[in-house]
A and B are shown apart, each in its own frame.
Chain A
Amino acid sequence: MKTESKIGVFLCECGGKISGRIDLQEVRELTRYEPWAHFETSPYPCLAPGLETIRKQVQDKGLDRIMVAGCSSRIMKKRFTNGLAAVGIQRHQIEMVNLKDHVALVHEAGPQELARKAAALISGGLASLRLLEPYEPVSLPFEGPALILGGGVSGFAAARELARHGLESVVFSKALEAERVLEELHWTFPGCRIFCGDLGEFLREVFTSPKIKIMPDQPIDYIVGGVGDYHVGLRQPDNTITEVNGAAIIVALDREFAPPEIAHIGGGERVLDLLDLEEQLVEGEFKPGKVLFWVNSPQHGKDAQELATMAAWRDSLLLAREHPQVQPTVLYPANIALPLAGADLVEARAHGIGLMSYAPEVHPVVQSGYLSFVSPADNLEHEVEWDTLVVPGVPGDPGAKAQELLRWLPIYPENGGRLQKSHIKFWPDQVPDESLFFTGSAGGLCDLNDVLQQGKNAARGVLRLREKALEGKLVSPVVVHVDKDLCEGCGLCTEICPCGGVEHVKPGSGPVPREVDNHLCSGGGTCAATCPYEAVKILNNTAQQLEARLKAMMARMQENDILGFVCGWGGLASAEQAAIKGVAYPSGIYLVPVNCLGSIDPFILSMAFLNGVKGIMLAGCTPKHSCHYHFGVDHCWYRVNAMKKLLSLAGLERRRISIGYVEVNEPNSFARMVESHMESLGKLPPLPQDEKSKAKLWAIHATLHRPRVRWVLGTSLRRPAEKEFPGSQFNAVEADETMLDVLKEEFLASRILKALSDQPLNPPGIARLMDEPVKNITPLLPDMANEGRIALQGWEGGYPVYAVGKA
């Protein structure tokens, strides 16, 4: 396809905004030998007449790739995609180079100078476009039942919805009959016994439906496969594994309520928690008298207190209805809004249920038979009488089942033990259909009604997937290939993938090549940049394309120019906003937009230095806080860090490369970043171009291709946090030195290879060529020979002579 590519370049004048600052005639002159099939300058390619012109050229000249050099890809790409769809040009076949925001509006240099920069950006884009590969969307089949894991109540709601639409499902549940579910309901949903009547009917429908298979809940041994074809291994009591297959997974997890601490209140059987109370309600006997529900536990936040108030209210209503001799009262803190509707209040009055609030600033005091509290209405201390005091429980942690599932599915605990699906914030057209469904109160405090609704929604999601699959439209915008010949099955990609896109393998199956579930993939590309064996490739977003782009750009850059990688979110948005705000920065920085800094392969950085770039700046989102790919920018930090170490090992300045963080709305910070980095580089000479330095840069590049180095970089994972270090390291300096040792050794080995690349040499010969003491080199040579990287050719004057290649 490379030779066939027919690229049309459309330069935009933007009504003078670009043509007034950049000499477009000169741009055309400079790029005349680039591999394009059509070149045109127009006032506004994006207007209706402009799109018409492009469509005409596509049809007349058979163009199959389009480059628009003018405006922001983020804003305008959709317009071109929509406008050119009629002539068969797809989104990935359109490349946009932003001359307006990256060149014309942010630099003060003359039109000729800016034309040179524009030409460099354009030829970079062209080089990348040439390596485009056809994207043929593959539609997934969707056969088999939906698997509902986790045992939460919402799973039943999902199953019923699926059954009503004719889709089979398998529910794994502790309770195998409806009555059991009802009896245990209050463990997860206190205060919901009042719904038992309706719920019982609903559950009987579920348990008798022929479309729903209820299976006993077994420990999950593995979950492998992907959308349309999941395999779940269940460990049976006799330790054998049964495998259940399904097309989709719904995780329904609830959290159990922990009993509150009431021992310090005392009172024996007169003081209960909500669970005790509901046990008594199940048994159906209750002591007459005044029952006081005291909503306490301010430490769990307003949401938990609202939930507890709701539970207390429902239980008191149930009590009042079924045991007329009981007089319930709910005492709730005044800092929450009473979560009751007007009709509820009417009902409360009808049943004589008291609703009172207490000022939470003054802690109520329990006495025998009384509880005193301060009313927020009059600031007076009041007393309320009780015969039974009930303290609602607190939401506990997700159960043990959650731990089993978290290991296999992209669900993570967030602050406060709340479970969250990997939620990545992207443009809607960058992500495929939602394909993993997570419901239940483990994802956030909610009551039974919410949870049932969540289950229903999850089922609808599954039904949507099935519908799409039937139409052959269940496709993913991102396609990740794992080269089976290169992959060694180390599993590093699975470990670091934030979206759960790289499949897990069954325990004990050894190193097998991975598959990628494109429907969970977010296209961040960190896996590809991390893979020690360079086996992972993201279609049309490969390191090879980036390499070609940079090489083409660097061929046109001057010796003091630098490369600026910007991530598609914080970095790019700030850079482009700088143009809108009229914030100027030096023209020596050539911006290269990437999805995420985490997608930049370490060898890209070394390749840039090898090709003579003076310095590199990277601008991404703030780590941990706003990286759209969870930890992409943190992964990049390690690569920059390794690059710094290697530069200093090669005797070059570490500050030639630096990484910075900006948010989407910080154009001034971005400009300052560029200025500061350029100023610091201004004091440095251009990269030395002599043979010895070149050899060292080559060695850096070779080092970053080494699986061992890439493995260490990959397992180091992230920018270290305070007191948190990769591997078995226990302090910052030691962690860093371990990495430095590996880099040192591999760098030296790479330099030896370089020295041997021209002719076979003995150790003193190698040392002379490398300017290193012989004693540093000799220990490495036998190891390298054992690994087959170099071969012992013979002996000469008592010294071994080595050459590149296998023996």
Chain B
Amino acid sequence: MPRKVVITGLGATTPIGGDVPTMWANSLKGVSGARTIEADWVQQYELPVTFAAQITVPASEVLSRVEAKRMDPSTQFAVVASREAWRDSGIEDIDKDRLAVAFATGIGGVWTLLDAWDTLREKGPRRVLPMTVPMLMPNGPAAAVSLDLGARAGAHTPVSACASGTEALHQGLELIRSGKADVVVCGGAEAAIHPMPIAAFASMHALSRRNDDPESASRPYDTNRDGFVMGEGAGAIVLEAEEHARARGARVYAELAGTSVTADAYHITAPDPEGLGATRALKAALFDARAQAEDVVHVNAHATSTPVGDKPEYTALKAALGSHLDQVAVSATKSQTGHLLGASGAVEAVMTVLALHERKMPITINLDNQDPEIPLDVVTAPRDLPSGDIVALSNSFGFGGHNAVIVLRSV
């Protein structure tokens, strides 16, 4: 039997709350984090999309000025979320050689990179600041969290676009099972609400254009969905070997029972319409967790609200869970948070862990007319989970054909 891995700490900074308690309370109520962007650059560049889901508590309110100055916003979010998760875990004494980090990002330090490019063009190379490279590198969030906590068993950065945050949990589980670490701080961070990525995602028609009504723009499974809403923030989870957590009498939220990562090898951006790669990931994650389809009661779906993306996930769930899918309650929380790209899997994992722990499911908003081709049981009003031993899944899929699934079990 592999080592059992449990979750003992949670952290988040998101468009629906700057910490886990606020985010969780809002997710049960059903609120939208999407707003019109109040920045000059929206008009300056005549962006076709003028709204996004921005974090509610600026990192500058949590970090010191000097700390923040040396970090790209993506790294700031990672540090804010991981500090909350670390405090929440209650770990005081640990061999730092046995503490690892797996912190993902989809895009990395895009603000730093493009600011430095502007500086180079306007003022020349001598004005490009020496901290530019450590701030823009995609491993910046993982490195900063490692430095902040003194984690010396490795600092890893899975990069698989919108599957990154979930892949970080996969990596964390492997690190503990293989005996390379006893505790891993996992997560994902993203700070890409910048005119260039907005222009680029809009150019591929991936973003909703409901500029006149941002709060209703993210509408997974709705017949009138027209694209995702850019979000930002970070989620963080403390994974711990079960025996390590028991020995210190830790509060355990749930077990990370299994994970799987597969690749479609189908198309660089389009999901396989038959969801074959996602199906393989779901089946392999359940197998890894020694769980049966019938154990699953809840899924936090990837469901980004794009016309082409939402259905293949349903097809894959149907293939993996069969007729039992009718008994599974699905939450599409991007309806509230927007799409946090490389952070989304981590934030959604936090919500799924809390769903098992509190036996309550987050709500899907904006589902006015459910797509008849996606007949899922979607949670649109407050609903409880049953007592007893239950299993929940969280899915993430990313450009590049990345599929990542985690299986969580109640404790």
A is bound by B: no
A: which residues have CB within 8 A of B?
none
